[in-house]
Structure formats: C-alpha cells, structure tokens
Chains A and B, each alone.
Chain A
Amino acid sequence: MERKKITIDGNEAAAHVAYRVSEVIAIYPITPSSTMGELSDAWSAKKLKNIWGTVPSVTEMQSEGGAAGALHGALQTGALTTTFTASQGLFLMIPNMYKIAGELTPAVFHVSARSIAAAALSIFGDHSDVMATRQTGFGMIASNSVQEAMDTAAIVHKATLESRIPFVHFFDGFRTSAEVMKMEELTDDDIRAMIDDEKVKEFKDRALSPEHPFIRGTAQNPDVYFQGREAVNKFYDACPDIVQKAMDKFAQITGRQYHLFDYYGAPDAKRVVILMGSGAEAAEETVEYLAQKMEEKVGIIKVRLYRPFSAKHLLEAFPKSVERITVLDRTKEPGSLGEPLYLDVVTAISEAMSSNNPPFSKMPKIVGGRYGLSSKEFTPAMVKAVFDNMKNSEPKNHFTVGINDDVTFTSLDYDVNFMTEGPEVVRCLFYGLGADGTVGANKNSIKIIGEETENYAQGYFVYDSKKSGSTTVSHLRFGKRPIRSTYLIQTAKFVGCHTFGLLEKFDVLGNIEEGGTFLLNSPYGTNETWNQMPIRVQQQIIDKKLNFYVIDGYAVANKTGMGSRVNTIMQTCFFAISGILPKDEAIEQIKKSIKKTYGAKGEEIVKKNYEAVDQTLAHLFKIEVPAKVTSSIEIPAIVSSKAPEFVRATLSKMLEGKGDDVKVSEMPTDGTFPSATTKWEKRNIALEVPAWDSEWCIQCGKCAMVCPHAAIRIKVYDKKFIDTKPATFKWMEAKGKEFPEGYAYTIQTAVEDCTGCEMCVEVCPAKNKKETKFKALNMVPQIPIREQERNNFEYFLELPELDRRLINTAVIKAQQLQEPLFEFSGACSGCGETPYVKLVSQLFGDRSVIANATGCSSIYGGNLPTTPWAINKEGRGPAWSNSLFEDNAEFGMGMRLSIDKQNEFAKELLTDLSQEIGKELVDSILNAVQKDETGIYEQRERVDELKKNLGNIKSKDAAKLLEVADYLVKKSVWIIGGDGWAYDIGYGGLDHVIASGKNVNILVLDTEVYSNTGGQMSKSTSYGAVAKFAAAGKTTAKKDLAMMAMTYGNVYVAKVAMGANDAQTLRAFLEAEAYDGPSIIIAYSHCIAHGINMAKGMESQKLAVDSGHWPLFRYNPLNVLDGKNPLKLDSKAPKIKLEEYIYNETRYKMLTKSHPQEAKHLLELGQAEVLKKWEFYEQMAEMKVSNDGEKEDN
C-alpha cells in the first residue's frame, strides 16, 4: 500500500501514534518534549479522534509529578493513558513509574531524551534522563530517527498491552525530536491493525471499579514484600519476545522490519560498535562507507529494546566473527565502572562466555566510551575514531569522543577532515536572525522538497541561547537516498546569509564547497555590496570560486509590506538559484505553502507574501566577482583585550561559535563561573538606540528604571570630571535636593548593549517643547554613533559611583543612581521581567544571594556564554544560583537557613572572643542596626576591623570566626522565578517557605504564562487568555496567589506593576526587603507571549491596573502593630472596562477572532471576576483592626 509521505519532526511522529491510541493524555511542558503535548492538545481541540472513534482528553498538570500521578490514576481506572516528557520532568515521574510498573500497568511515556541538570542545566539531547529510569521496572525502547519515532511508537503501544510492562519510548532530544524529515505516515488503519482490542479489554477488565471492587496498592510487611517483587519476573522474561513479535507484526503491515538488536555491517566483521539513539544513524552511514569504500570488517548493533535487556537477542545479533566490541553510551555516570549500556553488554557477553555454550570461540575484547552529551556532535569522523581505537592492541577503554579531554586524557583523537557524504546529497546552510523567519521558511522548503519531489529531505535548526537578536543556522539536506546524517552539515553546496551583519559574527563561508553558491541579503545594492564585505569573506568567495548572488531582501520586504521578515523572499531566491524545481513550479509551491501557513490569518497577509514572492526575482542579481580582494574591513575582535583571561581564552571561543574546541581543562570543574561577563560581549543588535537630549530632561530616572538591559544609565558626579570628558560626552547640571549641589548629571546609553526596544523613549515624560514629536530621549540610528558612544560609555563607567549612603532610595530619581548589577542579559528586547530583577540588583545586589527558578530568568540570567549578574567596584555583587524549577523556594530557604546559622555561629564566637577582640567592637557589631546603606556600610567597616584583629589572635575560634565573619553583615535572600514556578510546579514549596516565617524575599515575575517553554497556560493565566493548552481561551479565573499568601497574616505581600506605578513598585521592594519575615512581591511582567508591541509594555501594565485586572497593593503585617489595616490599596477602583485592557493584547484578542462566542462569554466572566475581586479587596482594606490583628467589633 502506498502511504502518504510527510515531512515532520520526531516529536510529531511519536505524538501521531500516541494520540491515536490514548484516551487520556496528562502532560506538563518541558523542552524538548513540549511539542508532543501541544500537538495533542491542538488535535484534541480540533476534535481529532483516536482509533476507537473518541477524542482523547488532554490535561495539563501542575508538574510532571502531577502528570504522572494523574496518568497513574487514569490507568488504574481503565483509560489508555500516555504522557510526554524529558529530563528533570522524567525524574519527577520516577516515583510513579515504580508504582505503575509494580502494578504491571500498560502505558507508554514518550521521552525526547535530554541532558540532566548537574553542574549546569542543558536542554539538549542525550540519554542521561532515561538512564535514570532503567531501574524502575519500565521497559525502554529507543528510536533512532524521525521515521522510527513513529514506527516504534506503534510497536511499543502494542507491546505494552500484551506484555503488561509499561514503557519509556525515547529518542534523542533535538537531534530527532526537532529534526524535520521526510517519512512515511502510518495510517489509522495501520495503527488499528497493530492494537489487539482483546488486550485492551483485558486492561480495562483489570481497572478499579466499584462494580467489581478490589484494592491495589497495599502496604506489605517483611513476610511477603520480597516475594511480591519477584512475582513479576515472568512478565519481564516474556517481554522481549512480545516486543519482537510486535516488530514482526509491524513489518507485515508496513514492510519495515525492526529487531530488538539490529546488526548492520560486514557479515564477517571483526570490530563492532553497539549504541542506541540517533548516533546509530551516523554510525551506520560510517560503517557503510568504511565497509564499502575502505573494505573494513566493521559493523554496528543498534539497540532498540534496552529494557528488559535480552542477552539472548543481543548475542544472536552479533556476527560470529566479532573480536572487538565498543559500547557507546550517550550518558555519564560519574564513579561507575562504566556507563549502563557498556555494563549490560559486558555482563551479557561475560555470562554467556562463562556458560556451557559460549557464543564466541574467544572472549571478545570489550571497551566502552561516552559520546554526544548535550547534543554534542557525533560525526562519521568520530565513529571512525571509535573503530580505529579497536585496531590498537590495547584499545582505550572508558574513553570519550567528540571533545578534547586534556585532563584525564579519556578522549580519542579524530580526523576532522574525514567525511562520508558525497555529492549525491545536496547540502545547504542558511544563516539568519530569529526575527526574520529564516527557520520557518526553511521548514517550508523542506516540506516542499520532501513532499513535491522524489527527494528525501532533512532539516535541522540551530539557535543561539539569546532571546533578543538571536541567530539561527538552518541545515538542509536532500537527495535520492534516505538520509542518515544525524550531524550538522560539514560542507555545503549552497550557503544563504539572510542578514548582512552575520558575515562578521560567523565564518559563514567556512563550510562552503569550492564552486558552491552563496546568496547574500544585502542592504547595499549590487554595486556597493562587494565593498562593504569583510576581507575574509571576499577572500573566501574568490578562493572558492563561488557563484555569488545578492538581493536587497529588506527593500523587497518593505515595498511589499513585509516589514523585516525576509523569509519568503530569501526562500524564493533559494529555489530560483538552486534549480531544485523548475522556476514556475517552485513559485507555485512556495505560494501553496504561503497559503497554508498564513491562510487562517486572512487574505491580506497571504497577498503580501505573494507580492513579495513575485517581486523577488527582479531584485536578485548575480555578482561578477572581482579577481582581487578590495576590502579593508577586518573582522572585529570577539572580545576586548581588556577582558579577563577566562573571558578571552574560553568564553570568546563560545562567542565565536567554536565552543566545541574548549578543552576539558578550560572548563570549571564544579559549574562555577565568573560573574559579570555579558559586558564583554558587544552584540550590537540594535538598529536604533536612544540618544539623550539634555535640554529637555527632567531627571526623573524613569528611562533607566524601565530599561530591561541596563543599557541606559545615570550618574551624578563631581564637575571636575567634565574637564577630561570626550568631546561628545553629554552632561547637565544635576537638579533637585536629591543630588549633591553643584554636581553634573549624565544619562548615557550603552549603544552596543542596547537592544533598541524603545521602552525608555516610551516612558520618557519630557517632551521637547519646540517640537513635541521629540522627547528628552529619541531613537537614532546606532551605526553612525557607535564609535563615539562606545568611548562615551567607557568614560561614563570610569566616573565614580555616588556614595550609596547619599542616595535616597525612596525616590526613583535618586534611586536610579544605584549601579545596576544585572546588565546586558540575553532577555527579549523590551522584556517585562528584567526591570524588576535589575531593581533588586540595584537596591540590594551588593549583599544579596539569589535563588532562581528554572525558566526565562534562569536562562537570561545564567545561560552561557556570558552572564549578566555583575560586580561593583568594591568587588561585591549578587551571588546567584539555579537549582531546579520545582524547588526554588526551598532552595532559597536553605540559603537563608545557612546564612542565619553562620551568622548565629559568628555571633557566638564573637561573644566568646569578646575579651581578645575588644568589647567595644564586639558590642557594636552585635548591636549593629543594618536597616539602611549607612548601617550596612558601618557594619562592613566594623567587620573589616574585626578581620584585622582576628589575624592577630591565634586560636581555633578566631580562625573559625574569620571563616564566618562576613555573615555578620546583613545578607538579603531573594527567591526569583516565574508564575509557572510560583503558581504551579513550585507552589507547594513556596507555600511552605512563606509559612516558615523566615526572612526571605520572593519575587514572582508574573507573565501569566509559561514563557520560556513557549506560552503554555499556568494557573496565573486569566479568563479568556489564549495559551497553549487553552487554545479556546482559559475558562477558569487566575489564581489569586497574593490573597493566598495574605491569609497567613505574617507574610509581607505586594502586587506591583512598574508601568502603572513605579513609585509603588519601589516602595514595595524596599518594604519587602526591610520586613524581617517572608515577603512576596508579585510583579506584572509583560511578555512576548502576550502578543503586544513590547515598546509599549509599560502601557499594557497601566491598562492592566486601570481595568482592575491587576490591582496594586501592599500588605504589610507591621501595620497591625500600629493598629492599622495591613492591606493598603495603591490603585483606584477599575476605571476602564476589562476589554479596553485585554483587547490591546493578541493573547486575548485572538480569541475574539478564533472563538468569538467563547470570547464574549469569557469576557463577561472576566469582567465580573475583576469587579468581585476589587470589591473584596476594598472591603478587606477598609476593615478596622486592633493592634493584635483582630478585626474590631463596632
């Protein structure tokens, strides 16, 4: 039967089957598996039915632990249930996995396998997560490609029902989960043919039911527990054959035959590699090359069924000729004898060889190695190195491949020039910006090539870790044979560079073949482009004899109303130049895909795209390449020569895209990295930046306060520094009682770090009185002023900071003089979270310890290469760490407990050593009041003196006190995270921590959605907001976390929105920190997931407050002591309708277009909720209280 060929990624392939054989799907978003849950939700919303004709119920839970619990319950009551997860999420499911397996419950978890968070988090692929579940009793089965992800899903769903063993079906995160590949789609009939309804009935018959009751989940004693655990053995013994039979059945249906262990290679191979996952594809490609072109006796075994591990089937898979075996694991178990697959294979062969019927005449030599952690490249060159290692008389064991381990010398050398791909595969690379739509267009191109030609096709996309100005590299392959190259393109026939500026950032032509084709999007036109190119690029074009094409894609985009999105334009150029399809057919197909992509959004956008396609070819030109280099433009240095050694030597390699070259010796051993490194990465991503016009400035400080990237700064300084200032450095008289008299005032932009979000200009209240279109800050093109402003900013940084003791932190105008110790992060342009984070760093950064939940804030706060938490001139700054997503409140509380204990110990020692140190100093330290900058400054002076004294005291206690003396200075503990953490996955911990009474400050950056993983609904999402898992609008109200916290009575609670009332925000931060107990600030954070103009994010915040959706208030338990009501409302009763706020945002507005009736209904509910809540708060704030906190009778 001819099946439909489709071009999809691994996540979709697995979900395609999982959805169709499930009744209940319980999920929670986590990269890189989120797509599977999102697709299931979307299909369910579209009423797509499973193979039994009913629409599966898809439910998002509060955590993966919750998803596993719900799944367990659903299974127990007889619903076929599945889930999708990865990494830490899978870890949270482990307790339930033991239960589910222990109860012999058929189920499949589909896992896009990902690294685990150890010294660092990584979202990329390896087998560390799934290997942590191999002891749970779950079966484990691996897919190596997108096709296999679909095929194996069908096999394993059948096998679980028949074996009663639950399974983890895993495939490599990103490499398989996100790789777009042409494949054959399984029909519903295929899937139906796989599933035995009798087995489904048996499963349902075993379900809990009051109609035929029994209990499951007893507690057992020493007398029988052991026997009970052994009672399952026969099911595990039978399982491998059941899986093989399922594979055989699948082969009957589709013609694709799989085995528990598949051997590929020479029938008389002497050297065999064993591995599983996507690396096996690259290994197969290499074996084919080595066996056919180099006549080497080599082969590989692809492990499919990993648990239950069938030694019998493994041994049968080996050629009898094998002499040497290498087992490759894509995981690391520090301290073990070897990684799991290695140990299993060694055990299997050793046991067999010591049996009465050994399978080989001689015990093969077996070594193990690690490869590919965190999606590290695994290329044919590395595979060859693994085979070559086995040629040695003493092959290296427990080796690594793909890195340079110059510390413990585990790594194998490999020849980077060894390649197996020939001209039969067309390879294309595209460099683009996230915002220009390059990846989306390439996904469409792959679909066109895959589905409209006979070619096999593969697409893989690499992103940097920035959320603003991100760059992308697309890797496209196509050809007449199936593509097994599960690694990045090493040489390309076609390179497209969709943004001119990337020529300086990447070695764009480093991988192009001689005679290849280079397409450049250039704003300089055909005549000027050549002269604007760096020397390196000109030289490469000449040396490699490239065909060089240029288009001004931005001009075409502008002309056709496409803005900055050059995607369809560059796509049209690609098809026109590459000749994959006849020109007219290509254009027809592009238009077809445009219609498919944009059709739902209206005809106008489709027409614009058509117009762009039609106008493209007239603007595409082939350039006559000059014979000689004419440019004098050098590629700028990656980082300044003034940068610290670690930045210059190590981080700069990562910045250059050469992080793979970093040696083991260059990496910190324990995940510790220096602070303040973003300042060395000059990204220059803003086309326009704010320029200060001092004539109109009123010195309010608002611009600096809202700047998400700390790229706009204020200093007040002695006028003597004006004498040495650069010529273009601007200043004005510092005005107002907040500043020292006679000082100068400067607002300076870090133009190379600014992202051009315009938020500062939007909030600037000072208009140019002569021309009201201008303000005291105005956007100007960056390039013409880059050099001068670089110098000005350097001079600005050299100016002394104003003594913190002189700054009135209660007034924004003055407070904004505090140095930001969170700067130039990779957050989105116009981010609504980072202004709050930066405010913490300014107010308390020099004494704060920060626990940061996983999410956006941990990524822009801690994702390499460079990180934004900074250090002041005294060497102090925020000490930051990320533990997990779910445990952040507890993590921060641990920090508090630790600091308090050490403070207590220091005080005890201080008291004990009072005589030696001097009573006066000891008393002054013990009785110090550290409520403000002066108090802290003075305590630091005392502690410095103490340390000097301690140096002269020779006792163990003195030495001990020296260790902990710094804890005598107040430390401010901040617990920061998003609403996904605070409202959902971390709520239990957060609740416990605020109930503890401990002095911690919790900052909830509330975007009302899971921002980092792509906009999934959280319990903070409001009525009527569209989010993933709430495609038809959220039908329940936003959880009132503030109200819940207030019920404790002893928790400081504030709800703030900087854009609505910045002074209230500032007050709340100061009060929260000053409060000697738990405090929680819930901060409205506008976000790209709201679908707004980010420049006007602060305006959105104001609308949220004005509508009553986000009432501002502070609940200060201390007020009760004065007989006052602890709750103070800081905003007025709703003064605009809810719709005036929400329909300013796409997340709400789109519902009026997609589900108009629901939108209307949910708006009514939302409006009623707002009014009800306001009334409640108002009543609460008006209650009279006595100073014991009780409501007074009157």
Chain B
Amino acid sequence: MDLSTTYMGLKLKNPLVPSASPLSQSVDTVKAMEDAGAAAVVVYSLFEEQITHESGELDHYLSYHLDSNAEAASYFPEQEIFHLTPYEYLDHIADLKKAVDIPIIGSLNGVSAGGWIKYAQNIEQAGADAIELNVYYIPTNQLTSGSEIETIYVDVLKEVKKNVKIPVAIKLSPFFSSMSNMAQKLDHAGADALVLFNRFYQPDFDLDKLDVVPNLVLSTNWEMRLPLRWVAILHGNIKANLALTSGVHNHTDVIKSMMAGADVAMICSELLTNGVGRITNILTKMNNWMEEKEYASVSLMKGSMSQKSIAEPAAFERANYMKMLQSYKTLI
C-alpha cells in the first residue's frame, strides 16, 4: 500500500503530520512521533510577542530597581547571557533535526510585518525543512477593512518568502469574505501551501469573578467539516498544496482529507488526549481501509471528492444548505 504524499516539495511517507502543539517541545516526544509513523512534524509556534516582549520584560524586572537605593544597587546577579525564547527555539529546531529523519516544519505565529519576521530566516538556518506561518489575527478595529486585513496576510507571507529559500505554508482563519479569492492571492504571493484552518480559542466568562478567561477546548472530528469543504473547493484551483487541520482524529478523517484534496492531514487534539501512539493506530487502520477498499495509493484518492471531481459540485455550495434544511424538516 502506498501511503506516500508530497507536501511543499517534501516527500512524505504518509499524509499524517502532527500540527504545532506543546508535544513538540520535547525532542523525545518528536522522536516518539517519528517512531509512531508521523510523516513530518510542525514544531510549536514561536510567537511574535515572545520575540518582541520577552526581552523587554526581562529587562524591566531585572532593571527597574537598579541604582535606586544606597544599600542595593541591584537585586539580581549579573548574567553573561540569556537564552531567550527565540534562540531556544532555534536551538530546539537544530536539536530536532539531529534527532529525527522526518521533515521538521518550523512555525512562526504573528501578525505584523515587524522584526520578528527575520526569525523565519533563523529558523531556516537552524535546519528546518519548511516554515508554517500562523497569522492569528482578530480584527477588532472598526476602521480596518476586510481588504486591509487580507493585505496583512499577503504582506507577511511575501516578506517571509523574500527572506527564505525553504517552502512556506500559511495557516489561515476561515473568516475571509471570499476564501477562494484570498487563497488565490496567497497562491500568487508564493505560498507553498495553505493550512486550513486555524482554530481560534474562544475565551469564556467566569461568572463568579466577572472575568474573561482563556478556555482551551480540544477539537472534535465534527470540526473538520469546515476545512473539509474548503479543501474540496480549493483543490485543483490553486498551485499551493493543501493541509487540512482541525478535527482530524481517526483514519477516516485522514482519508476524507485526502479525498477532499488535501496533501496532508494535520493532527493535534487526538494526540494530546490519547498520546502519540495513536499515529500508528490511525495509519494501520488507514492501511487496512485502503486494502479493504482497494485503494493502492493515497495519490489515487487525493482530490477524488473535491468539488471538481464530484458529480454535484453544488454540494459544497448553497444548494447543499437547502438540502440540509429539507432533510431536517423531513426528520421532524
């Protein structure tokens, strides 16, 4: 059975790629993912805020009370060097490259076209095989138009592409007015892959404290419907590869992703919940399913149920919505 696929020019032994998560903070865990069968790993994100704020925060707390008092000119011993997160991240990429043979994809999470972008170059120098840009942006400013937001994405991508030679994927939110148009713009800007979609962690309210609190909810495979639809719509219409992420939990989810037209399926919540050993399990079952259904290769199924390939392209459009409502009525 041939499970191999190609993603951003990287030859992968199968289409299952663990997405950016705390799991990749440990070299041993990444090694375990490789052993379990992961085709590549997207490393946890280096955040723009870490790059721009960590240095300032450290300086603030170490310096704020300097030379304020006759008895204590300082409160901390001088340190020769601080291994700040960006540098740690780069070291980690290098360590991962030494430890595993599968491709390592670095991840940069930010939103402005600032100095943090140069870290893409550093990630490349550290040995990463590709970069995934995660533009996590909540547009709350009423004066910012949709096209301005689109420009932010395109500019960040162009800036990174300009500075590195390795392939660059861009992870997107589903909230564009015209996703197809946006995909095309990014395609033209040089994206090697689009990763669909980012899950926005939605804050919750603490009613006792009347506070807004972060609340991490892991995905369920119900959530893959949205990216599934858009992968299916975009497949064959853009040059960039497609990665489906959000809601991939089992082998059928991976198979569906491929059939929609994704080049890889990215997995996270399932591994956080049930451990990296699940990768082996999913791949085995996928293999069995393909055997049973007589699919000789992943490439055979890739895009087979994309909008271009199915009999009723409208199934991914408004018509499908009407069909849904009608079936609901029938149930009542």
Contacts and interface: CB of A to CB of B under 8 A. Distances in A.
Interface of A: 31-32, 35, 38, 41-42, 45-46, 123-124, 174, 178, 434-435, 437-440, 443, 461, 463, 465, 467, 470, 472, 561, 563, 565, 598, 600-605, 607-608, 765, 767, 769, 772, 828, 859, 1011-1015, 1026-1031, 1088-1089, 1091-1092, 1146-1147, 1150, 1153-1154, 1156
Contacts of A765: 209
Interface stretch (B54-62, B139-147, B283-291): B54-62
B55 A603 contact: yes
A467 B69 contact: yes
Interface of B: 51-56, 58-84, 86, 88, 115, 209-211
B204 to A, nearest CB: 14
B56 A42 contact: no
A1026 B76 contact: yes
A563 B60 contact: yes
Contacts of A178: 70, 73
B69 A600 contact: no
Per DSSP, are chain A's interface residues mostly helix, strand or loop, or mixed? mixed
Contact of A1015 (B52, B56, B75, B80): B75
Contact of B83 (A439, A1014, A1156): A1156
A1153 B83 contact: yes
Nearest to A608: B56
A1029 B88 CA distance: 26
B74 A437 contact: no
Given A35-B73, A463-B69, A1147-B76, A601 B62 contact: yes
B169 to A, nearest CB: 26
A499 B93 CA distance: 47
Given A1027-B77, A1154-B81, A463 B58 contact: no
Contacts of A1028: 76-77
Per DSSP, are chain B's interface residues mostly helix, strand or loop, or mixed? loop
B56 A604 contact: yes
B245 to A, nearest CB: 28
A565 B56 CA distance: 12
Contacts of A601: 55, 58-59, 62, 82, 84
B72 A1015 contact: yes
Contact of A1013 (B51, B66, B71, B115): B71
Contacts of A461: 67
Contacts of A602: 54-55, 58-59, 82, 84, 86
Contact of A1154 (B52, B60, B72, B83): B83
24 contacts: A31-B70, A32-B71, A42-B77, A45-B77, A123-B71, A124-B70, A178-B70, A440-B66, A463-B70, A470-B68, A600-B80, A601-B58, A601-B59, A603-B55, A604-B115, A765-B209, A1011-B75, A1030-B77, A1031-B77, A1031-B78, A1089-B75, A1091-B61, A1150-B62, A1153-B83
Nearest to B79: A1154
A246 to B, nearest CB: 32
Nearest to A1092: B61
B176 to A, nearest CB: 31
B158 to A, nearest CB: 23
Contacts of B115: 604, 607
Contact of A561 (B56, B66, B75): B56
Given A600-B81, A1015-B76, A1091-B75, 17 more contacts: A31-B71, A178-B73, A437-B63, A563-B60, A600-B82, A601-B84, A602-B55, A604-B51, A765-B209, A767-B209, A1014-B75, A1027-B76, A1089-B76, A1146-B58, A1150-B62, A1153-B58, A1154-B83
Contacts of A1015: 72, 74-76
Counting chain A CB atoms within 10 Å of each CB, which of B51, B52, B59, B83 scores highest?
B59
A1088 B75 contact: yes
Given A600-B80, A1026-B76, A1091-B76, A434 B68 contact: yes
Shortest 6 CB-CB contacts between residues of A and residues of B: A434-B68, A602-B55, A1014-B72, A439-B67, A1091-B61, A604-B55
A765 B208 CA distance: 10
B72 A1013 contact: yes
A605 B61 contact: no
A598 B59 contact: yes
B56 to A, nearest CB: 5
B119 to A, nearest CB: 11
A35 B70 CA distance: 12
Contact of B67 (A38, A443, A604, A767): A443
Nearest to B74: A1014
A1153 B76 CA distance: 14
Nearest to A465: B70
Contacts of B80: 46, 600, 1154
B8 to A, nearest CB: 30
Contact of A440 (B67, B82, B210): B67
Counting chain B CB atoms within 10 Å of each CB, which of A772, A1029, A1091 scores highest?
A1091
Contacts of A1092: 61
A388 to B, nearest CB: 33
A984 to B, nearest CB: 17
Contacts of B67: 434, 437-440, 443, 461, 472
B28 to A, nearest CB: 13
Nearest to A466: B69
Nearest to A773: B210
B197 to A, nearest CB: 30
Contact of B79 (A463, A600, A1147): A600
B77 A38 contact: yes
B50 to A, nearest CB: 10
Contact of A1150 (B68, B70, B74, B76): B76
B56 A123 contact: no
A463 B54 contact: no
Contacts of B70: 31-32, 123-124, 174, 178, 463, 465
B62 A1146 contact: yes
Contacts of B84: 601-602, 1153
A463 B82 contact: no
B69 A470 contact: yes
A1150 B65 contact: no
B69 A434 contact: yes
A1011 B53 CA distance: 27
Given A601-B59, A1014-B71, A1153-B58, A434 B65 contact: yes
A467 to B, nearest CB: 6
A769 B207 CA distance: 11
Given A604-B115, A1154-B79, A1014 B73 contact: yes
A463 B115 CA distance: 39
B138 to A, nearest CB: 18
Nearest to A768: B210
A438 to B, nearest CB: 8
A328 B209 CA distance: 68
A1146 B65 CA distance: 13
Contacts of B88: 1156
A178 B115 CA distance: 40
Contacts of B53: 604
A772 B213 CA distance: 13
B74 to A, nearest CB: 6
A3 to B, nearest CB: 24
A956 to B, nearest CB: 50
B92 to A, nearest CB: 11
A569 B115 CA distance: 23
Contacts of B86: 602
A322 B205 CA distance: 88
Contacts of B72: 1011-1015
Contacts of B73: 35, 178, 1014
A470 B66 CA distance: 12
A1027 B74 CA distance: 11
Contacts of A1089: 75-76
A443 B51 CA distance: 29
B78 A42 contact: yes
B85 to A, nearest CB: 8
Given A31-B70, A434-B69, A1153 B82 contact: yes
